[in-house]
């Protein structure tokens, strides 16, 4: 396999180091990156499909919004992704259990996203989807470009974690002491900036730091970054639309 001659595109893409002083095989790292983005793409397509069903089939959202059983099930759906992360931590290298757990994680989160979008206007959802796609693609290309030129974003980790803690406390305050539409828009803007930073940080880790056995965790991190960015932008547009 390794003795086969390289095609021109292999030499230009597969054999090109992703960053200066790269010690590992570029071909293996590029293969790892393609695998991660394939998994994330499947996750996003599944999320779009599930959310579209929840949004278009009105009895589903009505059931969750108007019945006690629906509210209880909604809480279960929100908690399920966090519960699944626990066994996924132990079985992320064991196939096919890791893919099964990843599927449960993705579908439960997709259903929750669909319920969030169910009572939002189509214009707001479309604006959020388009802006999310543009931002994610732009930041991904920027991170690869910056890594190629020797820039490192590992220093962002502690700052992003601290900002995320502040954001979570802000959300808890909003639940118990609503501060109005302006504060909701401020929350959405702060969350968007934070998850833009996480997209850069996790993409940089994908290029340089994740080991080949950590493809599940790398996919989960990028998927959560994209979903959280979308929900943050949705919060901004929905508050502005109201």
Lowest mean pLDDT among 113-117, 141-145, 227-231, 238-242: 238-242
Is residue 75, in this structure, part of any structural domain at all?
Answer: yes
Res. 211: pLDDT tops 50: yes
Is residue 135, in this structure, part of any structural domain at all?
Answer: yes
What are the tens digits of pLDDT across the range 222-242?
999 999 999 999 999 988 877
Is residue 222, in this structure, part of any structural domain at all?
Answer: yes
Is residue 5, in this structure, part of any structural domain at all?
Answer: no
What are the tens digits of pLDDT across the range 70-81?
788 888 888 888
Distance CA 107, CA 1 (A): 37
Is residue 225, in this structure, part of any structural domain at all?
Answer: yes
Between 119 and 236, whose confidence is greater? 236
Q: At what angle do helices 58-66 and 68-91 cross, to 10 degrees?
A: 100
Q: In the 8-state DSSP scheme, what is residue 235?
A: H
The residue with tokens 């997709």 is 110
Q: What is the mean pLDDT of residues 187-195?
A: 93
Distance CA 30, CA 42 (A): 18
Res. 5: pLDDT tops 60: no
Is residue 2, in this structure, part of any structural domain at all?
Answer: no
Between 161 and 177, whose confidence is greater? 161
Tell me how many domains the chain contains: 1
Q: What is the mean pLDDT of residues 132-160?
A: 93
Res. 175: pLDDT tops 90: no
Distance CA 196, CA 129 (A): 15
Label residues 157-180 b or e (16+ Cβ within 10 Å = b).
eeebeebbeebeeeeeeeeeeeee
Given a contact cutoff of 8 angstroms between Cβ atoms, the answer to whether 213 and 226 are in contact is no
Distance CA 81, CA 102 (A): 9
Q: How confident is the model at residue 170 (pLDDT cuts 50, 70, 90)?
A: confident
Res. 56: pLDDT tops 50: yes
Given a contact cutoff of 8 angstroms between Cβ atoms, the answer to whether 111 and 78 are in contact is no
Q: How confident is the model at residue 116, as a pLDDT?
A: 87
Q: What is the mean pLDDT of residues 62-71?
A: 80
Is residue 145, in this structure, part of any structural domain at all?
Answer: yes
Q: Which CA distances in Å does 38 have to 13, 29, 45, 219, 223?
A: 17, 14, 11, 9, 11
Mean pLDDT of the chain: 86
Is residue 6, in this structure, part of any structural domain at all?
Answer: no
For 184, the domain range is: 24-241
Q: Which CA distances in Å does 79 have to 85, 106, 109, 195?
A: 10, 12, 9, 21
Characterise 150 by phi-psi region: left (phi > 0), alpha (psi -120 to 50), beta (else). left
pTM given for the model: 0.88
């Amino acid at each position: 396999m390794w003795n086969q001659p390289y095609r021109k595109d292999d030499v230009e893409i597969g054999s090109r180091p992703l960053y200066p002083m790269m010690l590992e095989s570029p071909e293996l790292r590029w293969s790892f990156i393609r695998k991660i983005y394939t998994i994330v793409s499947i996750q996003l397509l599944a999320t779009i499909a599930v959310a579209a069903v929840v949004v278009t089939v009105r009895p589903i959202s009505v059931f969750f919004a108007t019945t006690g059983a629906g509210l209880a099930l909604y809480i279960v759906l929100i908690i399920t992704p966090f519960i699944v992360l626990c066994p996924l931590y132990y079985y992320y290298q064991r196939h096919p259990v890791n893919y099964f757990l990843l599927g449960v994680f993705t579908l439960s989160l997709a259903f929750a996203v669909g319920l969030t979008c169910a009572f939002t206007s189509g214009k707001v959802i479309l604006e959020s989807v388009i802006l999310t796609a543009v931002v994610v693609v732009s930041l991904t290309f920027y991170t690869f470009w910056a890594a190629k030129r020797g820039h490192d974003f590992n220093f962002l980790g502690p700052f992003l974690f601290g900002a995320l803690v502040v954001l979570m406390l802000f959300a808890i305050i909003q639940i118990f002491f609503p501060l109005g539409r302006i504060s909701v828009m401020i929350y959405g803007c702060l969350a968007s900036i934070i998850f833009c930073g996480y997209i850069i940080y996790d993409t940089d880790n994908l290029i340089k730091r994740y080991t080949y056995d950590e493809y599940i965790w790398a996919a989960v991190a990028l998927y959560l970054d994209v979903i959280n960015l979308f929900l943050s932008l949705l919060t901004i547009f929905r508050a502005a639309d109201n």
